[in-house]
């Protein structure tokens, strides 16, 4: 796609600009070939004098890549221009095929940077680290090309800004000098910048090929550069925008830009959701939202729901089995008598007994008995989650190690909910304390998640009427999961309702969080109608596999 944009408003490209577009196009195709044609859209080749960046992504047009040819070094001939565009293309495509590659890796690196800098500055650290990794890899493969491009870029920046180069730009070029073992700068920076550059270079080069160390390296670099970053990039207004020195924009493009493959083309929502949940599984909530959002993973508007969904993913499996007959199997031969079904006569056993067949004497059949039965998994019934959010079910999810009985209950509830959702089963939620909050029967798990996350923190009244009504509204029998610490005020009425629901075919399973054993004397005749589990700790609950072995739905 070839476009032109001019400050003078003319629609037709000048001859020189047409030639540059042609050369950039040749370089881009050369790059794609060397990367075995990754699925990238062709850039918009433009001449935009309002942007200092040479290569950027337009967030208003599905993250379309734009290659701005308006502010490039003056080079000698066509070959030099192709080489220059080739080096730039190699670098930019590497963001999508090497680092940060996708939203999941980007989120992990942003989280690492945020240990020492705020969310506004974290993308700068990540983009800096990615640039250093990419250019080091490219230098190993194309040493002459990459050194030449860096030298030309430095000369161009130096000519444009003379003695006004920012300290960050001096730091960046000196870091390249140290990593690549080349000379770029005409005048070396001050000793403090040299010290920073050498520290960062040493971190990048240590066990360079081990990409499992990326997060640790980003964290260390963020700690080293936090003062330089805050002194270079100025937060404006409420901190939502940042002022950049223009020389940095020409070198790094926009260092806040989200350069991962999940942003370059329209992604399947389920794929992004899975990456967000994968990131949530290894990240405290206090460190989850900002990097997940900046990396483009949060397609849902509720980060807390996404986080619990990630914690609960595939942790609990609910299976309902019924027993099937194994059929009859032969045990021993016995006489076959006239009048019995002819198909029961075993001719081979008869002849083996005597070559002369005498009815009722030598004729034989097999005595059979029922074989062992076997279990088949039945379709899980509609699922009703009844979750206790009373004050005794405390909740603290914002610490590094989330805790509380309600946190435990949520992990289990999200696990059960998404197991049901994956099977295409209808579900309903009752969140109760002093009053019930109800999600009506649905297959939309977002609706159910919203009710689950409405912590009330009041008294404990099991909403027996609401449970009964939801079971009555269901299109088929219901599996009712009750998750509570069972510090329930209205337990007498609750037992009566649970027995009644069980007698009309619904399945009741209750979880006592924080209990070592089920108090049988307290429940008396209830335990032969329902199933209760004593849950001593969180691990026991979220790894629980419920296997009810009985005939169900006769």
DSSP string of 404-452? SHHHHHHHHHHHHHHHHHHTT--EEEEEESSSEEEEEEES-HHHHHHHH
Separation between Cα atoms, residue 418 and residue 407, nearest integer Å: 17
| CA neighbor of 467 nearest in space, from 507, 430, 505 | 430
pTM listed for this prediction:
0.78
C-beta of residue 87 within 8 angstroms of C-beta of residue 123: no
How far is C-alpha 514 from the chain's CA centre? 30
Burial of 52 (0-12, 13-18, 19+ CB in 10 A): buried
Cis peptide before 100 (omega within 30 of 0): yes
**What is the pLDDT, as a whole number, of residue 138?**
97
CATH 3.40.50.300 is the classification of domain 377-549? no
CA distances, 61 to each of 40, 43, 65, 67 (Å): 14, 12, 9, 14
**What is the pLDDT, as a whole number, of residue 298?**
87
Separation between Cα atoms, residue 137 and residue 159, nearest integer Å: 28
**What is the pLDDT, as a whole number, of residue 430?**
97
Q: Provide the edge-to-edge strand list for the sheet that holds 545-549.
A: 374-378, 317-324, 545-549
**What is the pLDDT, as a whole number, of residue 150?**
96
Separation between Cα atoms, residue 416 and residue 428, nearest integer Å: 11
* Number of Cα atoms under 13 Å in the Cβ half of residue 139: 18
pLDDT one digit per residue (tens) for the chain, 554 residues: 334 444 444 445 688 889 999 999 999 999 999 998 887 778 888 888 777 777 776 555 555 678 889 888 989 999 999 999 999 999 988 988 899 888 899 999 999 999 999 999 999 999 999 999 999 999 999 999 999 999 999 999 998 887 788 999 999 999 999 999 999 988 888 999 999 999 999 999 999 999 999 999 999 999 999 999 999 998 877 666 788 888 898 888 788 887 877 765 555 788 888 899 999 999 999 999 999 988 888 887 789 999 999 988 877 666 655 555 556 677 778 888 888 888 888 888 888 888 888 888 888 888 877 666 555 556 668 999 999 999 988 898 888 888 888 998 898 889 888 888 888 889 999 999 989 999 999 999 999 999 999 999 998 888 999 999 999 999 888 999 998 887 777 777 788 899 999 999 899 988 888 777 877 777 777 888 888 888 776 666 665 544 443 333 23
Separation between Cα atoms, residue 458 and residue 432, nearest integer Å: 9
Domain boundaries, the chain: 1-97, 101-289, 327-371, 377-549
Separation between Cα atoms, residue 342 and residue 349, nearest integer Å: 14
């Amino acid at each position: 796609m070839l476009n032109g944009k001019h400050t003078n408003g003319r629609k037709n490209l000048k001859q020189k600009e047409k030639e540059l577009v042609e050369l950039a196009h040749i370089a881009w195709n050369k790059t794609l070939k060397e990367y075995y044609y990754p699925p990238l859209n062709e850039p918009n080749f433009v001449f935009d004098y309002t942007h200092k960046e040479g290569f950027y992504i337009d967030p208003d047009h599905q993250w379309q890549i734009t290659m701005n040819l308006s502010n490039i070094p003056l080079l000698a001939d066509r070959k030099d221009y192709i080489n220059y565009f080739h080096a730039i293309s190699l670098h930019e495509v590497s963001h999508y095929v090497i680092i940060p590659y996708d939203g999941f890796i980007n989120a992990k690196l942003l989280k690492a940077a945020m240990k020492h800098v705020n969310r506004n500055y974290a993308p700068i650290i990540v983009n800096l680290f990615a640039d250093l990794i990419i250019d080091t890899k490219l230098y190993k493969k194309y040493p002459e090309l990459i050194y030449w491009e860096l030298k030309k870029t430095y000369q161009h920046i130096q000519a444009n800004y003379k003695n006004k180069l920012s300290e960050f730009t001096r730091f960046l070029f000196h870091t390249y000098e140290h990593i690549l073992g080349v000379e770029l700068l005409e005048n070396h920076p001050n000793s403090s910048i040299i010290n920073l550059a050498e520290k960062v270079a040493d971190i990048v080069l240590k066990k360079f090929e081990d990409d499992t160390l990326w997060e640790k390296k980003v964290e260390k670099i963020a700690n080293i550069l936090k003062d330089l970053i805050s002194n270079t990039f100025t937060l404006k207004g409420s901190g939502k925008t940042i002022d950049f020195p223009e020389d940095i924009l020409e070198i790094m493009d926009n260092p806040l830009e989200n350069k991962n493959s999940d942003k370059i083309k329209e992604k399947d929502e389920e794929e992004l959701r899975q990456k967000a949940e994968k990131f949530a599984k290894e990240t405290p909530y206090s460190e989850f939202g900002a990097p997940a959002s900046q990396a483009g993973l949060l397609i849902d508007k509720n980060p807390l729901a996404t986080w619990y969904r990630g914690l609960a993913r595939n942790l609990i499996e609910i299976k309902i089995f019924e027993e099937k007959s194994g059929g009859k199997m032969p045990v021993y031969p016995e006489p076959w008598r006239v009048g019995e079904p002819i198909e029961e006569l075993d001719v081979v056993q008869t002849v083996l007994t005597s070559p002369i067949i005498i009815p009722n004497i030598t004729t034989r059949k097999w005595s059979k008995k029922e074989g062992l039965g076997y279990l088949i998994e039945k379709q899980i019934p509609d699922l009703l989650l009844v979750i206790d959010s009373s004050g005794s079910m405390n909740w603290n999810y914002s610490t590094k190690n989330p805790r509380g009985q309600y946190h435990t209950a949520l992990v289990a509830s999200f696990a059960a909910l998404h197991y049901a959702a994956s099977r295409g089963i209808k579900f309903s939620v009752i969140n109760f304390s002093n009053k019930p909050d109800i999600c009506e029967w649905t297959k939309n798990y977002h609706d159910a998640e919203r009710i689950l996350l409405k912590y009330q923190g009041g008294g404990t009244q099991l909403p027996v009427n609401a449970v009964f009504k939801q079971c009555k509204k269901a299109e088929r029998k219901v599996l009712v999961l009750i998750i509570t610490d069972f510090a329930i005020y209205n337990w007498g009425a609750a037992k009566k309702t649970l027995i009644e629901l069980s007698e009309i075919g619904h399945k009741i399973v209750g979880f006592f969080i924080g209990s070592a054993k089920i108090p049988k004397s307290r429940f008396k005749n209830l335990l032969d109608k329902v199933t209760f589990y004593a849950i001593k700790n969180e691990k026991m609950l979220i790894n629980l596999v419920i296997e009810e072995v009985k005939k169900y739905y006769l």
